[in-house]
Amino acid sequence: MLPVVTRAFMNSMVPIATVRRTNERKNLTPMVVSGTHSMDMSLWLMEGKYPKTIFAQSVDKKLQSHGTKDSTFGIFTMDDDAIFSMNISWALPTVWPGSVYGLEIGIVGTEGVIDIEDTHRDLVLASEKPQGHGYNPSGYNPADNRHVDFLTSYPPGDIYNNQLWGPMREETNSWFQRLYVGTETPHASAEDGHKNLVMTMAMDASSKINEKIEINDHIESEIVKIQSD
78, 52 Cβ separation under 8 angstroms: yes
Q: pLDDT at position 43, please?
A: 92
The helix or strand, by DSSP H or E, that contains position 56, with its residue range, turns out to be strand 51-59
Query: How many angstroms separate the CA atoms of 142 and 137, rounded?
Result: 10
Q: What is the pLDDT along the chain (229 residues), one digit of tens a residue?
A: 678 999 999 989 888 888 888 777 878 899 999 999 999 999 999 988 999 999 999 999 999 998 899 999 999 999 999 999 999 999 999 889 988 889 999 999 989 999 999 999 999 999 999 887 667 777 777 778 889 999 888 888 888 898 889 888 998 999 999 999 999 888 788 898 999 999 999 999 999 999 999 999 899 999 989 888 7
Q: Hey, what CATH topology would domain 4-155+189-224 get?
A: Dihydrodipicolinate Reductase; domain 2 (3.30.360)
Query: How many angstroms separate the CA atoms of 93 and 218, rounded?
Result: 38
Nearest of 102, 103, 101, 92 to residue 144 by alpha carbon: 92
89, 30 Cβ separation under 8 angstroms: yes
Which amino acid makes up residue 229?
D
Q: pLDDT at position 133, please?
A: 66
What size, in residues, is the chain?
229
Domain spans in the chain, listed from the N-terminal domain onward? 4-155+189-224, 156-187
Contacts of residue 73, defined as CB under 8 A and 6 or more positions apart, other chains included, come to 56, 57, 58, 85, 86, 87
Contacts of residue 101, defined as CB under 8 A and 6 or more positions apart, other chains included, come to 8, 9, 10, 34, 37, 153, 155
